[in-house]
Copies of this chain bind each other. A is one copy, B any other.
Amino acid sequence: MSSTFTGQLAAFAISDTRPNSAALKMAQLSALDWLACGIAGVTEPVAQILRAQALAEAGAAQATLFGGTAVPARMAALANGTISHALDYDDTHFAHIGHPSVAVFSAAFALGQLQGRSVSQIIEAALFGMELSIRLGVWLGRSHYQMGFHQTATAGAFGATAASGRLLGLTPGQMEMALGLCATRAAGLKAQFGTMGKPYNAGLAATAGVEVAQLVAAGFEANPEALEGALGFGGTHHGEGNRDAALQDLGRVWLCEEISHKFHACCHGLHAALEAARSLDLAAPEIASLTVRTHPRWMTVCNQTAPETGLGAKFSYRTVLALQALGKDTARLDSYSAALCRDPRLVGLRDLIHVQADESLTETQAYVTLVRRDGRRLEASHDLQTPVAYELRQERLMGKVQALIGAERSAALWAMLQGSGSAADIAAHF
């Protein structure tokens, strides 16, 4: 085994290490979450543009696009990576500083389908890939992100490479070269946030992984030290080079266990408040006032006071909490509509909700204080970083997935993800 940083990552990516059960179960949940985001994301305009490009190019029927039709795996990864991030509703990992599943699953399902792999092989490859992209995110660190790089795209490309290379059966030396070749291909800027370029960045990472792994499997020779070496990706891309932290307990501890899933179809800054209020079991008629305290950072991000559009509602504490109190499912995309923004019941309720910045909180914490009409006062708080028990997470996630793609398709996909289906079986539901 090579002792270089890339050498250790490559050895991990192709190792026989048996992932622990909690990590594997998390990867199954993330696969379900990714599938739902992709299937539901197909109607987004950026999804239609990528699909049209893929259909015009056509080619070998290797891997299925969300929305149907099989195209070359490299193209399917580009399109599906973009489509599954279009709603910005997919999972997150705070140490990765990014969304771990979109790049990796888009690559792994595309290559897995091409190679006729089983679902369990794909999930295992994706778990190794996600773990590697999180480790890469730790290695690149906050300086890389702060300078302007979109870690979902950059660290994500290396994760997609690892998953792809594992499925292709690369040797250790080939895996090192694939990671090295990825270093000349990985890209993605935060400057695209707020545009179609953001989900495209995820697609770029997915297709980069498929492309470099396929080329290296075919005999392509690249510099295996282009990640950390002189003039490598880390140095050129403002990486911190946190090598020890990135490699700590690699193969024994799975950072993937700390993946967090979105249970509300709105800005992440609103989620802690929604979770806190949820625990109070709000019912609109009983509310005299509801006060939210949140980290000051969110006040300029998601505190629109009286939005008039569905998109605006997704960035408004007052609106999403009023929706929740009215019994609307905040996991559903169609709960955020212009019609609901104008609903007199929602408008009346919204005016009872107050938002305050509180510097003592972290960005993942929120407090809510409810004063009921009977005079009782209730308080609750939530921190998004609090671990969620598997059963509860699975139940919440299934609720979200059902809201996105319906109960029947959710049940079928979940059974296949836990069972012995093939990639093609899953793709039949795209």
Contact = CB atoms under 8 A, between A and B. Distances in A.
A115 to B, nearest CB: 13
Given A58-B59, A147-B236, A192 B45 contact: no
B222 A53 contact: no
Nearest to A59: B59
A52 B218 contact: yes
Interface string A187-209: 11111101111001100100000
The size class of the interface chain A forms with chain B is 35 or more
Interface string A388-417: 000000000000000000000000000000
Contact of A189 (B201, B215, B226): B226
A181 B200 contact: yes
A351 interface: no
Interface in A35-80: 45-46, 49-50, 52-53, 56-60, 62, 71-72, 74-75
A214 B59 contact: no
Interface stretch (A227-235, A268-276, A325-333): A227-235
Nearest to A218: B49
A197 B223 contact: yes
Interface in A137-166: 147-150, 153
A405 B281 CA distance: 78
Nearest to A189: B184
A183 interface: yes
A222 to B, nearest CB: 4
Nearest to A146: B231
Contact of A181 (B62, B184, B197, B223): B197
Contacts of A204: 184-185
A196 to B, nearest CB: 5
Contacts of A192: 180-181, 184, 222-223, 226
A237 B225 CA distance: 20
Which one of A46, A191, A237 has the greatest number of beta carbons of chain B within 10 Å? Answer: A191
Which one of A62, A153, A197, A220 has the greatest number of beta carbons of chain B within 10 Å? Answer: A197
Given A184-B191, A191-B223, A221-B195, A148 B53 contact: no
A82 to B, nearest CB: 10
Contacts of A219: 45, 49
A238 interface: yes
Contacts of A235: 147-148
A1 B37 CA distance: 39
A236 B145 CA distance: 10
Nearest to A153: B184
A264 to B, nearest CB: 26
Interface string A217-259: 0111111011001111101111000000000000000000000
A236 B149 contact: yes
A136 to B, nearest CB: 16
A218 B60 contact: no
A186 interface: yes
B59 A72 contact: yes
A187 B189 contact: no
Interface in A298-331: none
B238 A236 contact: yes
Contacts of A62: 57
Given A180-B192, A189-B226, 18 more contacts: A52-B218, A53-B218, A56-B72, A57-B59, A59-B60, A183-B189, A184-B204, A185-B204, A187-B187, A189-B232, A189-B236, A191-B229, A191-B232, A192-B223, A194-B223, A195-B223, A197-B223, A200-B220
In the A-B complex, the 10 residue pairs with the smallest Cβ-Cβ separation, listed nearest first, are A59-B59, A148-B231, A57-B72, A191-B226, A187-B187, A148-B236, A197-B222, A184-B189, A191-B231, A58-B59
23 contacts: A49-B219, A49-B220, A50-B215, A52-B218, A56-B60, A57-B74, A58-B60, A59-B59, A147-B235, A148-B232, A180-B197, A181-B200, A183-B191, A184-B187, A184-B197, A189-B231, A189-B232, A191-B230, A195-B221, A196-B220, A196-B221, A197-B222, A200-B222
